[in-house]
Amino acid sequence: MGEATKHCDYEALAHAVYLQRFAVDFEYPVHFTERLFVAENTVLRDTITRLENNRRHRCIVFVDDGLSAVRPALIGEIETYASAHAAVIDLVTAPLSVAGGEKVKNELFHVEWMQGLIQEHRIDRHAFVIAIGGGAVLDAVGLVAATSHRGIRLIRIPTTVLSQNDSGVGVKNSVNLKGAKNFVGTFAPPFAVLNDLTFIDDLPAREKIAGMAEAVKVALIRDGDFFLWLERNIDSLSLFERSSMAAMIRRCAELHMRQIAHGGDPFEAGSARPLDFGHWAAHKIESLTRNHVRHGEAVAIGIALDTRYSVLAGLLRAGVEDRVAALLELLGFRLWHPVLEARASDGSSPILQGIAEFREHLGGELTITLLEDIGRGVEVHAMHESLVHEAIVWLKARQSVQ
């Protein structure tokens, strides 16, 4: 009887359902500093020893080759810093240059090459991968760190406005595949983010301008007071005045971090992407121009387009679109590109394909953030083709009178 009972119990277990549930707390510091690789600045040293300060930590460093070109002394500065703090930093090899821009994301060879170096130099889960560069390099190196040994500690050192105020402080890593943007990727919080304002000094004007688009974006959807601050400081920002640039970068980063931490969906399991306001068009513009239009430049066009659409759809009061466009233009953005009105051989609009591609990338129901006021975004689940075309016509007409 006992054996039969046991048998019946096991039969019952075969049809049982268990709900496994646990929570994982994530945290990482985001530092704002200057002259990071001067020996007296201990931010990097303190970051590396944050959890364990009684041993040497193996580190491998990857540097954006575009940054190396404009700051050729950087490799030596990193090595000198490591030597000055040799008691805790074990630089396993000289800092390694990696292709910058979309090239590092478009060719999987770069990812495999970095993974091979991590294996060769025995970088384990208690060692560090340090990524220094723009958003594309941080994306690719972040993917390498997240997928090697199922996750190696990653320290991001963003060197562009766009990466310091937006992508570098987030939790996403990715590369492209066969033309599909960010197709291969992970959600993996970094160990730390170190923003060094002196890297911004070396940027060409076009790069400084491009990064400001994300500040306008996050102000429009989350912080009306920040938008007013951007308007009031337009002159100093357009001249790249250092204190204004520092304040803009820091506030923009804070708002992005707040959304990630408190927006309820840090790993984007749902269909909403409020931080992607203006991005459905931006991603398509980048693709259609083969990245000749930079990400920030494309985002500025997408912001202007979707703000005008918000007015046409009756969500936003008339006149706000002119105010938003004026701010973007005064910052230095050109809000028009011919691909907006391009037609395929069958007469279809390639730019409108961006809506379908945006939904595919997100999965589930189409969800696009528009505006109902300055500082307040609203989610919609449909975009009307006729209104998109009206918004494009408006942008072209506006550009023709500039």
Element (H, E) at 163: helix 161-165
* AA identity, residue 259: Q
Domain identity same for 319 and 358: yes
Domain identity same for 196 and 212: no
Q: Would 5 be classed as within a structural domain? A: no
Least confident of 161-170, 204-213, 271-280: 271-280
Domain identity same for 186 and 213: no
Q: Would 293 be classed as within a structural domain? A: yes
Domain identity same for 172 and 215: no
Task: Decide which of 201, 236, 254 is a domain's last residue.
Answer: 201
Domain identity same for 303 and 176: no
For 340-362, give one letter per residue: b (16+ CB within 10 A) or e: beeeeeeeebbbbebbebbbebb
Domain identity same for 73 and 184: yes
Q: 2: pLDDT confidence band, cut at 50, 70 and 90? A: low
CATH code for position 164: 3.40.50.1970
Q: Would 328 be classed as within a structural domain? A: yes
CA distances in angstroms from 266 to 228, 260, 273, listed in the order given: 27, 5, 10
Question: Over the stretch 71-129, which tens digit does the pLDDT of each residue have?
Answer: 999 999 999 999 999 999 999 999 999 999 889 999 999 999 999 999 999 999 999 99
Domain identity same for 175 and 214: no
Q: 24: pLDDT confidence band, cut at 50, 70 and 90? A: confident
Nearest Cα residue to 24 out of 253, 186, 194, 266: 266
Domain identity same for 120 and 155: yes
Task: Decide which of 163, 181, 201 is a domain's last residue.
Answer: 201
CA distance linking residue 319 with residue 310, whole number of Å: 11
pLDDT of residue 39: 97
Give how many domains the chain has, as a whole number: 2
pLDDT of residue 187: 93
Q: Would 378 be classed as within a structural domain? A: yes
Calculate mean pLDDT across residues 328-350.
94
In the predicted structure, residue 236 carries a pLDDT above the cut 90: yes
Whether the CB-CB separation of 131 and 138 falls below 8 Å is answered with: yes
Task: Decide which of 175, 201, 227 is a domain's last residue.
Answer: 201
pLDDT of residue 7: 57
Q: 374: pLDDT confidence band, cut at 50, 70 and 90? A: very high
Domain identity same for 112 and 177: yes
pLDDT of residue 30: 97
Token pair, residue 297, equals: 């430049």
Question: Over the stretch 307-327, which tens digit does the pLDDT of each residue have?
Answer: 999 999 999 999 999 999 999
CA distance linking residue 400 with residue 391, whole number of Å: 14
Q: Would 281 be classed as within a structural domain? A: yes
Sequence-distant (≥ 6) Cβ neighbours of residue 64 within 8 angstroms: 97, 98, 100, 132, 133, 134, 137, 159
Q: Please give the torsion angle defined by the CA atoms of residues 297, 298, 303 and 304, in that order, rounded to the nearest 10 degrees.
A: 80
Q: Would 14 be classed as within a structural domain? A: no
Mean predicted lDDT score pLDDT of the chain: 92
**Whole-model pTM over 0.85:** yes
Q: What values do phi and psi take at 135, rounded to 5? A: -60, -40
Domain identity same for 194 and 221: no
Q: Would 8 be classed as within a structural domain? A: no
Paired residues of 158 in beta bridges: 133
Could you tell me the residue range of the domain that residue 136 belongs to?
A: 30-201
CATH code for position 355: 1.20.1090.10
In the predicted structure, residue 13 carries a pLDDT above the cut 70: no
Could you give the angle at which helices 320-331 and 205-222 cross, rounded to 10 degrees?
A: 160
In the predicted structure, residue 3 carries a pLDDT above the cut 60: no
204 CB-contact burial (10 Å; exposed 0-12 / middle 13-18 / buried 19+): exposed
Domain identity same for 149 and 213: no
